[in-house]
Amino acid sequence: MNDLFDAIRESIYLYMNVDELTPRKRQRVIDTYSRHVYNMDAVTEVTSLEPEAEEE
């Protein structure tokens, strides 16, 4: 990683594609966020927008 821009790019990639990582890497990413209130599940809950069922 050359600079902070590259590091942020890598960090976002790991966060967004956590399911595609190897088990050890995945666990490392999940553990990093699990000790905070806004862990991965909490953020997923905030971002889940269920569209309104179309009325026919």
Contacts to other proteins by CB under 8 A: 4-5, 7-9, 11-16, 32-33, 36-38, 43-44, 46-47, 49-52
Distance separating alpha carbons of residues 6 and 44, to the nearest angstrom: 24
Nearest distance in Å: CB 27, other proteins: 16
Closest CA to 26 of 38, 44, 8, 40: 40
Q: Which residue has the tokens 């553990």?
A: 31
Whichever of 22 and 55 has its CB closer to other proteins, that residue is 55
Whichever of 22 and 46 has its CB closer to other proteins, that residue is 46
